[in-house]
C-alpha cells in the first residue's frame, strides 16, 4: 500500500519543529531580552532616552 502524500506546505513548515530552529529562536530571543533590559536600565539610571533606539 502506498504511503499517504505529505503536502509541500507541511514539508515547508516542518522546520519550525526542528530542535535546531527552536534553540536558535531561544538564543535570539534571550539576546533581544537582554538588550531590552539594558536599554530600560540605562534609561532609568542615566536618563538616556529610549525612543531614539526603541523602534
Yes or no: say if 44 and 36 are a contact pair by the CB < 8 Å rule: no
Residue 1 has pLDDT above 70, yes or no: no
**Interatomic CA distance for residues 12 and 42, integer angstroms:** 41
User: What pLDDT is stored for residue 23 in this prediction?
Assistant: 94
User: Residues 5-20: pLDDT tens digits?
Assistant: 778 878 778 888 888 8
The pLDDT tens digits for 17-43 are 888 889 999 999 999 999 999 988 888
Instruction: Tell me what pLDDT residue 48 has.
Output: 66
* Of 54, 33, 32, nearest in space to 43 by CA: 54
Residue 33 · residue 40 · CB < 8 Å? no
Nearest to 38 by CA among 26, 27, 30: 30
pLDDT of residue 26: 95
Amino acid at each position: 500500500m502506498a504511503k499517504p502524500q505529505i503536502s509541500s506546505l507541511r514539508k515547508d513548515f516542518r522546520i519550525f519543529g526542528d530542535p535546531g530552529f527552536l534553540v536558535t529562536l531561544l538564543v535570539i530571543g534571550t539576546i533581544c531580552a537582554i538588550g531590552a533590559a539594558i536599554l530600560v536600565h540605562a534609561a532609568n539610571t542615566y536618563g538616556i532616552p529610549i525612543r531614539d533606539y526603541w523602534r
